[in-house]
Structure 1
Amino acid sequence: PEVIVVDLGLERNDAIRLIQQLRQLYPVPVIALAPPDAEHAERAVQALNSGVAEVLVRPPQGDFIGARRLGERLVDRIRAAIHTARPIPKNPDRAPRRAASFSSVGLDPARYVVAVGASTGGPQALRAMLRCAPRDFPPIVIVQHMPVFFTKSFAANLDHHCAIDVREAVGGETLAPGTALIARGDTHLVLARDGLNWTVRYTDSRLVNLHCPSVDVLFDSAVAAGSFGVGVLLTGMGADGASGLLHMRRAGALTIAQDRQSSIVYGMPKAAAESGAAALSAPPERIPGLIARRLADAARSTPQPVSVK
């Protein structure tokens, strides 16, 4: 087979075990379907941790409109998986090599804000990246294309594996170092200034680049951070985030795209690289250290004010 589709509505152990067995036998992308409820949210996260590239919501029986939409999305995902995706590597879950702390390179993490966008293959890329972030890493705001039923469980699972705190954004939070907030799966999340602090808030549910939340919406709101902003665009289909990342770079932000070799789908990062939006590229696990080094270099090269007596 060129792609495998698994229904997580099977008995819990059977579905996850089946995915693991299939991945051992067939090195191809796996897509999972799951009903929209709390029980299957946990199962969806397990599936992602087992190497599933993406989980789609299966509507309840009798929802013919929802079934038609699922069919259209599934066809798109299968075509993309056949032509552009690669299977998630079956590497063991090795201990992360955490990046150096910001204090060790002379930086105040509270001065910066990191905006991250991801889609297909993003859960694995985010896990690799966030596990390598030190406890005093700058605040992170994330848009991961994922159904609203799964984002809270996904954030909780990441929190279990990271030194920093990871949770689903409620809206209205003041950002702090050592914290990552993940957008709910049905509303755009943006950064906003509140005096000297950054906060996040939800706006609306209109589709932007066929997505809500949209990475471009988040990145465009991060333009105001200027040279104290960092934009990171990870694996995913399409081009959501490339335009906003370019706007961030033009405003002076450090911009990074996931490299081709580590991307499950080199779509969004490719669009960023080809448009000149990404100044750098790297695999996810190296991005926290790269951010710390580049920001430290920029801080050292910035002329310091001279006091006149």
Structure 2
Amino acid sequence: MNRVRVLVVDDSPTMRAIIKQKLRSDPDIEVVGEAGDPYEAREAIKTHSPDVITLDIEMPNMNGIDFLEKIMRLRPTPVIMVSTLTQNGASATIEALALGAFDCVGKPTDGDLANAFPNLARKVKLAARSPISKRRNASTVPQRDANYRPANKIIAIGSSTGGVEALGEVLKDFPANCPPTVITQHMPESFTASFAGRLNSLCAPEVLEAKDGAPLEVGKVYIAPGRIAHLEVKIGEKLSCRLTHADLVSGHKPSVDVLFRSVAPLGARVVAAILTGMGQDGAEGLLEIRNAGGRTVGQDEATSVVYGMPRVAFELGAVEKQLPLSKIASALLKLSGAEDEGRISA
């Protein structure tokens, strides 16, 4: 197996050194070059033809977002964004993921450089094997089904790597009166508020970061806050969001398994989907939903950026039907609508 060839782009020599050290510790990765700004990076790309690029967002001469747009348009290459975990950095990273970046990692902010970027090498190797995402047209008017009539159901969705783009693709087809929808997307702290804001500007329903105690309402989509808490659905006279601060579950906080298990007692009222992502978070929770009488779908391998979570769920028997990303929204709406015929079309 050939080693994955990586180009490191960051304006900080110190940060480039840390990233190179982390990557070179993996025998399957070769750092073929580095650059301090997009102009140097452009020449390095021509010289080295890297398999993957790590790209800083804030750089001199041209910011990382503009450079990413040029990369995806002129020479599509898997890109992992490196960002500070600030509000500005979060907003820019969400934009980068929507443009087709494979994933994002946060720069260390606590001075603990030795433990920085713990999952970077793994993400680089996954990125090298992934299909290049095609940029979405953010100006596209969302498709809305004026004839849709919601039933007394709830939609739950779990996703990870590749999920930013996948969730945008799904939610853009949701009508303004969609069923209450709860989502756990693996994402760094402070990123989910920006992510929710972006989706809210592009989709017909109201999309917001989940708050503890918020009632679940028709026409609203609730996204679990990144790394702060698990999102659960509190079952009572009325359904509401509950944020819990327990330890990692299935290796994550927030965890898709936690969300899915919390809605499983609702049985046939639940329609759930597991989308692209690495690992197996959500598979066992999705199985609990299906065993309780809920309806379940999973993203297929061909359209998944990383066919990890949906694969494990499918092999476990948790997925009722695998579908391409383009058909998941219609399946969820059909199964949660007042005229559900009980079938999922391929």
- Normalising by structure 1, we get a TM-score of 0.88
Structure 1 residues 259-297: Cα deviation after superposition (integer angstroms, max 9, x where no partner): 222111111111111111111122334223212333459
**Which residue number in structure 1 is paired with residue 331 of structure 2?**
290
1:3 aligns with 2:48: no
Q: 1:203: which partner in 2?
A: 244
Residue number among 102, 105, 113 corresponding to 2:148 in the alignment: 102
* CA displacement 1:165-211 (0-9 Å, x = unmatched): 0000111011011100001112111011121x211111114111211
Q: Which residue of 1 aligns with 2:163?
A: 122
Structure 1 residue 52 and structure 2 residue 93: aligned? no
Partner of 1:306: none
Q: Which amino acid counterpart does residue 216 of structure 2 have in structure 1?
A: L
Q: Which has the higher contact order (CA 8 A, sep 6+)?
A: 1
Matched to 1:76, the amino acid is: R
**CA 1:27/1:90 → structure 2, altered by over 3 Å: closer, same or farther?**
same
Letter in structure 1 aligned against 2:111:
D
1:90 equivalent in structure 2? 135
Q: For the residues of structure 2 that align with 1:280 and 1:295, how far apart are their CA atoms?
A: 15
1:242 aligns with 2:283: yes
Q: Deviations over 1:3-37 (max 9, x none)?
A: 11101132595211111112234333211011111
Going from structure 1 to structure 2, the CA distance change for 1:43 and 1:91 (only over 3 Å counts) comes to closer
For residues 317 and 146 of structure 2, the distance between their equivalents in structure 1, rounded to whole angstroms, comes to: 28
* Partner Cα separation in structure 1 for residue 83 and residue 193 of structure 2: 15
More deviation in 118-127 or 292-301?
292-301
2:120 paired residue among 64, 67, 74 = 74
1:93-141 CA deviation, whole Å, 9 max, x = no partner? 44443346432xxx43xx1111111101101000010010011110001
Matched to 1:167, the amino acid is L
How far residue 50 of structure 1 moved from its aligned partner, in angstroms, is: 1.6
- Structure 2 gaps, min length 5: 1-49
Instruction: Tell whether 2:64 aligns with 1:15.
Output: yes
Match of 1:190 among 232, 249, 256: 232
Q: Is the 8 A contact 2:274 2:299 kept in 1?
A: yes
Give me the whole-angstrom Cα distance separating, in 2, the residues matched to 1:182 and 1:238. 20
Q: Aligned to 2:183, what secondary structure does the other structure show?
A: strand
Shift in CA distance, 97/190, structure 1 to aligned 2, threshold 3 Å:
same
Partner letter of residue 217 of structure 1? V
Per-residue Cα deviation, 1:45-77 (whole angstroms, up to 9, x for no partner): 2212221121111013x712xx34333211111
- Structure 1 stretch displaced more, 164-173 or 72-81: 72-81
> In 2, Cα distance between the equivalents of 1:69 and 1:298?
52
Change in CA separation of 1:200 and 1:14 when aligned onto 2, cut-off 3 Å:
same
Distance change (3 Å), C-alpha of 1:68 and 1:149: farther
Q: CA deviation at 1:214?
A: 0.5
Contact 1:125–1:284 (8 Å) recurs in 2: yes
Say if 1:140 and 1:181, in contact at 8 Å, map to a contact too.
yes
Q: May I ask how many residue pairs the two structures share in their alignment?
A: 291
Return 246-255 or 93-102, whichever deviates more: 93-102
Aligned-residue CA RMSD (Å): 2.0
Alignment of 1:265-280 (within 5 A): 265-280=306-321
**Match for 2:87: what amino acid?**
A
How many Å separate the matches in 2 of 1:182 and 1:206? 19
2:63 is the alignment partner of 1:63: no
Letter paired with 2:135: K
**Matching residue's letter, 1:72:** P
The secondary structure found in structure 1 opposite 2:188 is coil
Give 1:170-189 correspondences, 5 Å limit.
170-186=211-227, 187-189=229-231
The verdict on how the C-alpha distance between 1:101 and 1:193 changes in structure 2, with shifts beyond 3 A counting, is farther
Q: Following the alignment from structure 2 to structure 1, what is the Cα–Cα distance between the partners of residues 300 and 215?
A: 31
Alpha-carbon spacing, 1:99–1:31, altered in 2? closer, same or farther (3 Å): farther
Q: Report the residue type matching 2:83 in the other structure.
A: A
Preserved contact between residue 297 and residue 321 of structure 2 (Cα < 8 Å): yes
Contact conserved, 1:99 with 1:289, CA < 8 A, in 2? no
Letter in 2 for 1:81: A
CA–CA separation in structure 2 for the residues paired with 1:144 and 1:300: 29
Is the counterpart of residue 255 in structure 1 residue 300 in structure 2? no
Letter in 2 for 1:160: S
